[in-house]
Structure 1
Amino acid sequence: MASKIENMWAASRFVLPEQRELYLQHREDMKLVKMPELEQDELESFHYLIRDSAREDYAITITWWQPVKEDLGKTCSMWGVIKWMDQNSRRVKLVNDEESRWIQMDAIIEVIP
């Protein structure tokens, strides 16, 4: 008799695809973070490392914040060499062996040499 009750509870745990999708979306939303606020001296050191990477042609790792929902977003990271700096649009082109990407200067939150 106990096995029938256990099976009844197991059968009632069916989840609709819509419920599963909402649950997974909620789990993804919990991973989102606000853009960190940086001090002026941190920004200056980032800019110095970026200019130096472009001038001396050495690789750096850049971490930036990418907006997803309103004021929440996720952090992305990529290593490479700065090949181009666009002063008008305030962005840099980071290039490595696999890909190249334009990154907004205002979104950069960390630069590691």
Structure 2
Amino acid sequence: MTSKLNDNGVIEGSRMILPEHRDAYVAHMHELNRREKPVLDEQEWQLIGQALMESYQERVSVTLTVFDPFDDTVMRGVVASIDRRRKEIKFVRGEEDYSFISFENIVCASI
């Protein structure tokens, strides 16, 4: 008769994981990939502001890199409005496709 114990002393037939434990493990592994927001110097902020103003005034397309803790998003479109009080821009990517982007989430901007 063979033993039901393997090298680590666990019965082979009792290996089971609860769905809640699996979900918690997956969420934990996802959180390990979280990144910190890069710190931009004054010169980079000036270049971003210059690109945003040029896009707003001349209605030219600009490429924005928006920070996300897991993966940055690159968008191409036109700045429709700049709200300095709320510190955000209205960014139009198509006829009816627009979004509001906070200044602090913009990492890079280029014409």
Q: Does the pair score TM above 0.5?
A: yes
In structure 2, stretches of 5+ residues that fail to align are: 6-10
Matched, 1:53 2:50: no
RMSD of aligned C-alpha atoms? 2.5
- Decide which structure has greater strand share: 1
Say which of 35, 50, 74 aligns to 1:33.
Answer: 35
- Residue of structure 1 equivalent to 2:67: 65
Structure 1 ranges of 4+ moved more than 6 A? none
Question: Taking structure 1 as the reference length, what is the TM-score of the superposition?
Answer: 0.75
Distance apart, 1:58 and its partner CA = 1.7
- Residue of structure 2 equivalent to 1:78: 75
SS of aligned partner of 1:41: helix
Residue by residue, what CA displacement relative to the aligned partner does 1:48-102 show, whole Å, maximum 9, x if unpaired?
A: 0000011121222212235xxxxxx343332211001012111111111262111
Identity %: 25
Instruction: Please identify the structure whose Cα radius of gyration is greater.
Output: 2
Distance apart, 1:41 and its partner CA = 0.2
**Could you tell me how far apart the structure 2 residues matched to 1:38 and 1:96 are?**
25
In structure 1, stretches of 5+ residues that fail to align are: 67-72
Question: Taking structure 2 as the reference length, what is the TM-score of the superposition?
Answer: 0.77
